[in-house]
């Protein structure tokens, strides 16, 4: 009776398709990165519109961010994610920002050409060394180099929290759901995570418990933003690494006090 090799044949077909798609991703992404670099070069020579170029880069970088892991280049996708955050953090693109953006583009080209041969420690060191477009700290205050992960839906509240943290000189990355937050946290191991209670596909409370169950993440400080009262059952029995902040009128001041208690600021000095 003839041997049935159909399953193996199917696996071979799938492997061939994945290899082809990965190759196409490499070719198209390198072309895109080259096009972005040329547009940055034109801006440096006084040609083109800065806003148009940045909007173009944001669109294409978002696509690379989403496709990187799918086609075997997760670190390239994470670098694209960080460039996306960088562009959100910068209010006005200046010459230094163009140099930073070009640095991101060059790094992605290098990672793709090298097939990302970095271990976990090297990945974290690389990602936490990248510029984030943070602004200077406010008068008289010295901040440490602090990595913050925001796990919040896009909107006014996230903009408000981002602005306050950037004004403190913190480095900010954003995650748009709790699953992405876990992936980002494993890569950069942030000093503190802000998470909204109402998130998907599971809640901020559930994400706190997930982090506490992962050895690499369990010691990360988490600030859970919620509309529930302090005694509500929804926010009881949280891991010890979690601080709860009610989203009332004074919630930004409360956040500031918690960050000071965490030791994320240096000293305050009076200036004339």
The CATH number that applies at residue 54 is 1.20.120.160
pLDDT tens digits along 48-86: 999 999 999 999 999 999 999 889 899 999 999 999 999
Q: Is residue 29 in some structural domain?
A: yes
Does residue 252 contact residue 160 with C-beta atoms inside 8 Å?
Answer: yes
Element (H, E) at 104: helix 95-114
Closest by Cα among 199, 135, 142 to 163: 135
What residue numbers bound the domain in which 167 lies? Answer: 141-268
Q: Is residue 76 in some structural domain?
A: yes
Q: Is residue 147 domain-shared with residue 198, that is, in the same domain?
A: yes
Total domain count, the chain: 2
What tokens appear for 39 in the block? 């547009």
- What is the pLDDT averaged over residues 133-140? 50
Q: Is residue 261 domain-shared with residue 167, that is, in the same domain?
A: yes
Q: Is residue 135 in some structural domain?
A: no
Q: Is residue 44 domain-shared with residue 117, that is, in the same domain?
A: yes
The per-residue pLDDT for 200 is 87
The per-residue pLDDT for 69 is 87
Q: Is residue 134 in some structural domain?
A: no
d(Cα 259, Cα 135) in Å, to the nearest integer?
18
Domain boundary among 84, 109, 129: 129
| Tokens 């200046």 sit on residue | 94
Exposure b/e, 60-94, CB count within 10 A at least 16 = b: bbeebbebbeebbbbbbbbbbbbbbbbbbbbeebe
The per-residue pLDDT for 100 is 94
The per-residue pLDDT for 140 is 40
Q: Is residue 101 domain-shared with residue 147, that is, in the same domain?
A: no
Of the candidate ranges 6-15, 87-96, 187-196, 203-212, the one whose mean pLDDT is the lowest: 6-15
Q: Is residue 136 in some structural domain?
A: no
Which residues are 141's β-sheet partners? 268
User: Average model confidence (pLDDT) for the chain?
Assistant: 87
* Residue 140 neighbours by CB under 8 Å, 6+ apart: 268, 269, 270, 271
Q: What is the DSSP string of 159-223?
A: HHHHHHHHHTT-EEEEESSHHHHHHHHHHH--SEEEEESS-SSS-HHHHHHHHHHSTTTTTSEEE
Q: Is residue 160 in some structural domain?
A: yes
Q: What pTM was computed for the model?
A: 0.83
d(Cα 188, Cα 213) in Å, to the nearest integer?
18
Asked whether residue 194 carries a pLDDT value surpassing 70, the answer given is yes
pLDDT band at 215 (very low <50, low <70, confident <90, very high): very high
Among residues of the chain, what percentage have pLDDT more than 70? 90
Secondary structure of residue 256 in the 3-state scheme = helix
Q: What is the DSSP string of 35-58?
A: HHHHHHHHHHTT-S-HHHHHHHHH
Domain boundary among 129, 156, 173: 129
Domain boundary among 74, 108, 129: 129
Q: Is residue 172 domain-shared with residue 58, that is, in the same domain?
A: no
d(Cα 63, Cα 68) in Å, to the nearest integer?
9
Q: Is residue 177 domain-shared with residue 78, that is, in the same domain?
A: no
The per-residue pLDDT for 19 is 84
């Amino acid at each position: 009776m003839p041997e049935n090799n159909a399953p193996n044949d199917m696996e071979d077909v799938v492997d061939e398709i994945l290899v082809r798609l990965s190759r196409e991703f490499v070719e198209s992404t390198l072309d895109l990165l080259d096009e972005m670099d040329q547009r940055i070069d034109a801006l440096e020579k006084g040609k083109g519109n800065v806003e148009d170029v940045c909007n173009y880069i944001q669109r294409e970088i978002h696509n690379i961010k989403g496709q990187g892991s799918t086609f075997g280049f997760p670190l390239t996708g994470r670098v694209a994610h960080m460039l996306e955050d960088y562009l959100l953090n910068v209010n006005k693109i200046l010459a230094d920002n163009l140099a930073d953006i070009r640095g991101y583009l060059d790094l992605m080209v290098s990672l793709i050409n090298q097939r990302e041969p970095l271990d976990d420690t090297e990945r974290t060191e690389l990602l936490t060394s990248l510029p984030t477009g943070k602004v200077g700290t406010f008068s008289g205050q010295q901040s440490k180099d602090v990595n913050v992960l925001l796990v919040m839906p896009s909107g006014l509240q996230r903009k408000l929290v981002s602005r306050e943290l950037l004004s403190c000189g913190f480095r900010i990355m954003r995650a748009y759901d709790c699953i992405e937050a876990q992936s980002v946290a494993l890569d950069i191991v942030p000093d503190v995570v802000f998470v909204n209670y109402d998130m998907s596909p599971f809640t901020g409370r559930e994400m706190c418990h997930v982090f506490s169950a992962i050895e690499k993440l369990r010691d990360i400080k988490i600030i859970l933003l919620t509309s529930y009262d302090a005694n509500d059952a929804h926010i009881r029995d949280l891991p010890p690494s979690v601080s709860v902040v009610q989203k009332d009128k004074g919630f930004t001041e409360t956040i500031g006090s918690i960050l000071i208690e965490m030791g994320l600021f240096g000293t305050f000095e009076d200036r004339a």
